[in-house]
C-alpha cells in the first residue's frame, strides 16, 4: 500500500489538551483514530487516552493478516474501549465521569471503513471535492438535517456542545458506520476533532489538502484554526491519510449492514458465534470458508479483548 500519513494535536487556547490521536500500521492495513475527551466531565483526558490506547492495542494484537469483517472489528473495539473507560473511571478516587467522542478509520487492501461516536468527524475528499463527512451525534446536526440551520451556522450555535452519544458512562453507545469505500489515487481521509471543523469550512480544509505533503497540510489547518479562534480555541486535532496507490481491482468484502449499530447487541452476536463454533456441529458446507474465517477472527478478537481486560 502506498500512502502519506500525518497527525497533529495541539491544546489551542485550553490549559489542557483532552484530545488524543493515533495511528498503527500493518503490511496491508492502517488504522487511524481521533478522540476528543469531553471537557465538561472530569475524566475527559483519561477517556480519550484510554480509547486511543485500546483501539490501537487491539488492532496490533490481531494475528490474522486481514480483517475479514472490518465493521464488526471497528464496533467491537469501540465497545471494548467503552468498557475500559468506564472501568478506569470507576477505579479512580474519587470516581470520574469520563467520556469521549471518537472517529476510527481502517484502510485495508485499498478499501476504507470507518465508525464514529459523537462529533469527531471523518471527511473524504476526492479531486479536491468533499464526497462524505460523518454526521455528528448532536442536537445541532439534527437541526441541520431538518433544515432549521445551515452547515455554516453549526459552528457558532449556542447548543453546539450538546452531544447525544459518547464513549464512556453507564450505557454503551450506538455507533455509526460508514460505507465500504474503494479508494482512488489521490483520495484524502481526514479525521478531526471539533476544534478543527468549528474553525474551518470544508472548502478551506480542501484548499489546505491541495498541498503535496499531508504533514504540511495538517500543520497549516491546525495553525489556521488556532489563529482564527484565538484564546477561545478548543483543542485541535487531525489525522490525515492520502491514498497514493492504484484503485483496487478486488471485489468489496462486506455485505449490506445497518448504518447504526447497537454495540452491546453486536457483542452478544459475536459471543453467540463463538459459542456456536465451540459446540459440536456438522462439517461446514462447501463455499463456507469465508464465514469460517470470520467466526475464527471474531473468536480471536473476543479472546484477545478478554486478555486485555484481565490485564486491567
CB 220 within 8 A of CB 211: yes
Is position 278 within any domain? no
Q: Considering the domain boundaries, does residue 272 fall inside one?
A: no
- Grid cell, residue 112, equals 476504507
Over range 88-97, report the average pLDDT: 90
Torsion (CA) 205, 100, 60, 17 in degrees, nearest 10: 70
The pLDDT assigned to 264 comes to: 54
The verdict on residue 289 lying in a domain is no
In-domain check, residue 286: no
C-alpha pair distances (Å), 202 with each of 34, 105, 170, 291: 18, 19, 34, 40
H/E segment holding residue 73: helix 70-91
**pLDDT tens for each residue of 44-87:** 999 999 999 999 999 999 888 889 899 999 999 999 999 999 99
pLDDT (0 to 100) of residue 305: 61
Q: What is the pTM of this model?
A: 0.85
Say if 296 falls within a structural domain. no
Q: Is residue 198 part of a domain?
A: yes
Q: What is the largest CA-CA distance in the chain?
A: 66
Provide mean pLDDT across the span 280-294: 50
Query: Does the pLDDT at position 161 exceed 90?
Result: no
As a whole number, mean pLDDT of residues 247-276 equals: 62
Q: Which residue has the higher pLDDT, 53 or 275?
A: 53
- Give the domain range for residue 25: 3-262
Q: What's the pLDDT band for 312 if we cut at 50, 70, 90? A: very low
Question: Is 239 part of a structural domain of the chain?
Answer: yes
Question: How many CA atoms within 13 Å lie on the side-chain side of 30?
Answer: 17
Q: What are the phi and psi torsion angles at 200 (to 5°)? A: -120, 135
**pLDDT at residue 299 above 80?**
no
The answer to whether residues 64 and 297 touch, using CB atoms and an 8 Å cutoff, is yes
Structural domain count of the chain: 1
Whether residue 283 is predicted with pLDDT greater than 50 in this model: the reply is: no
What is the edge-to-edge ordering of all strands in the sheet holding 236-243?
A: 3-10, 236-243, 188-192, 121-126, 129-133
CATH code of the domain containing 167: 3.60.40.10
Residue 237 three-state SS: strand
Q: pLDDT higher for 114 or 95?
A: 114
Asked if residue 302 belongs to a domain, the reply is: no
pLDDT at position 219: 99
Amino acid at each position: 500500500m502506498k500512502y502519506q500519513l500525518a497527525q497533529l494535536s495541539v491544546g489551542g487556547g485550553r490549559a489542557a489538551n483532552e484530545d488524543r490521536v493515533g495511528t498503527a500500521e500493518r503490511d496491508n492495513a492502517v488504522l487511524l483514530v481521533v478522540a476528543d475527551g469531553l471537557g465538561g466531565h472530569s475524566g475527559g483526558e483519561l477517556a480519550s487516552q484510554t480509547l486511543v490506547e485500546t483501539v490501537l492495542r487491539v488492532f496490533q494484537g490481531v494475528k490474522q493478516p486481514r480483517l475479514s469483517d472490518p465493521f464488526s472489528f471497528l464496533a467491537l473495539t469501540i465497545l471494548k474501549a467503552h468498557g475500559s473507560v468506564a472501568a478506569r473511571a470507576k477505579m479512580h478516587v474519587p470516581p470520574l465521569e469520563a467520556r469521549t467522542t471518537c472517529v476510527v478509520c481502517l484502510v485495508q487492501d485499498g478499501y476504507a471503513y470507518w465508525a464514529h461516536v459523537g462529533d469527531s468527524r471523518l471527511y473524504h475528499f476526492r479531486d479536491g471535492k468533499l464526497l462524505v463527512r460523518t454526521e455528528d451525534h448532536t442536537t445541532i446536526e439534527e437541526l441541520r438535517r431538518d433544515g432549521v440551520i445551515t452547515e455554516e451556522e453549526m459552528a457558532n450555535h449556542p447548543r453546539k456542545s450538546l452531544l447525544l452519544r459518547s464513549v464512556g458512562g453507564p450505557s454503551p453507545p450506538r455507533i455509526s458506520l460508514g460505507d465500504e469505500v474503494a479508494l482512488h489515487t489521490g483520495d484524502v481521509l481526514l479525521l478531526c476533532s471539533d476544534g478543527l471543523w468549528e474553525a474551518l469550512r470544508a472548502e478551506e480544509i480542501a484548499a489546505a489538502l491541495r498541498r503535496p505533503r499531508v504533514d504540511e497540510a495538517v500543520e497549516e489547518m491546525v495553525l489556521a484554526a488556532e489563529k482564527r479562534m484565538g484564546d477561545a480555541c478548543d483543542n485541535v486535532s487531525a489525522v490525515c491519510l492520502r491514498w497514493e496507490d492504484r484503485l483496487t481491482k478486488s471485489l468489496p468484502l462486506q455485505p449490506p449492514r445497518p448504518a447504526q449499530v447497537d454495540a452491546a447487541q453486536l457483542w452478544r452476536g459475536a459471543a453467540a458465534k463463538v459459542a456456536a463454533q465451540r459446540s459440536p456441529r456438522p462439517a461446514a458446507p462447501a463455499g463456507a470458508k469465508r464465514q469460517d474465517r470470520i467466526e475464527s477472527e471474531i473468536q480471536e478478537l473476543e479472546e484477545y479483548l478478554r486478555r486485555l481486560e484481565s490485564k486491567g
